[in-house]
Chain A
Amino acid sequence: QVQLVESGGGVVQPGRSLRLSCAASGFTFSSYGMHWVRQGPGKGLEWVASVWFDGSYKYYGDSVKGRFTISRDNSKNTLYLRMNSLRVDDTAVYYCAKERARGGDLPEYWGQGTLVTVAS
């Protein structure tokens, strides 16, 4: 079955960087687009970024554009989110998610999330 396991979260100071990873299994990773979605404490879900199956297209939410970079390594079945210039309001649980159908679809399966806390 589809498994998505996020890692790399932790406590980081404002202005610093962090890289999240999402290890995928149970499906042909190289055939599906992937998403990162986050949820701040007590807040709703917020889309962060998406990447096509082959990495050719990437999309970002306004709040992270220019600071975060989504990427993937299809040889390692792994999705990444590089987060630079972190701010306090980036504090959230970060979920990776697999698109439902090939070709720019919305999320179907979600990981359990990894917590990022930005604080001095």
Chain B
Amino acid sequence: QSVLTQPPSASGTPGQRVTISCSGSSSNIGTNYVYWYQQLPGTAPKLLIYRDNQRPSGVPNRFSGSKSGTSASLAISGLRSEDESDYYCVAWDDSLSVVLFGGGTKVTVL
């Protein structure tokens, strides 16, 4: 049921900027907020971005979210080794009445 499409992997060197895309449709990203979660190995997911571009308290401003039409993006600037993790985009789908998760993107810090 994963109709939110993310690249399986992304990478960068320390200090670089990495961007992860999330492609959906008019019934999900096009009309509803996008959330982003970070999942470090062996741990529960952590909310990183809510309502397209809002950061919960405690999340560094190196993380930013944006949305345009039926696509969203997560950007990590000033990449650090501790950012090596899996990242998921999520949105509600009005047509299916379900919560959709993207397939996840594994970020590697080279």
Give me the interface of A with B, judged by CB distance under 8 Å: 35, 37, 44-47, 50, 59-63, 95, 100, 104, 106-113
How many residues of chain B are within 8 Å of chain A by beta carbon? 25
Question: CA–CA, A59 to B35, complex, Å?
Answer: 19
Is there an interface contact between B101 and A113, defined as CB atoms closer than 8 Å?
no
Is there an interface contact between A106 and B99, defined as CB atoms closer than 8 Å?
yes
Q: Which label, helix, strand, loop or mixed, suits the secondary structure of the B interface?
A: strand
Query: How far, in Å, is A27 (CB) from chain B's closest CB?
Result: 15
- Taking CB as reference atom, which chain B residue is nearest A49? B99
* Residues of the A chain whose Cβ atoms lie less than 8 Å from the Cβ of B33: 106
- Taking CB as reference atom, which chain B residue is nearest A93? B44
- Taking CB as reference atom, which chain A residue is nearest B2? A44
Does residue B104 face the partner (Cβ distance < 8 Å to A)? yes
Is there an interface contact between A100 and B101, defined as CB atoms closer than 8 Å?
no
Question: CA–CA, A50 to B99, complex, Å?
Answer: 9
Does residue B90 face the partner (Cβ distance < 8 Å to A)? yes
Is there an interface contact between B44 and A45, defined as CB atoms closer than 8 Å?
no
Does residue B65 face the partner (Cβ distance < 8 Å to A)? no
Is there an interface contact between B101 and A59, defined as CB atoms closer than 8 Å?
no
**Interface-centre pick from B39, B46, B91, B98 (highest chain A CB count, 10 A):** B98
Is there an interface contact between A111 and B44, defined as CB atoms closer than 8 Å?
yes
Query: How far, in Å, is A42 (CB) from chain B's closest CB?
Result: 11
- Taking CB as reference atom, which chain A residue is nearest B100? A47
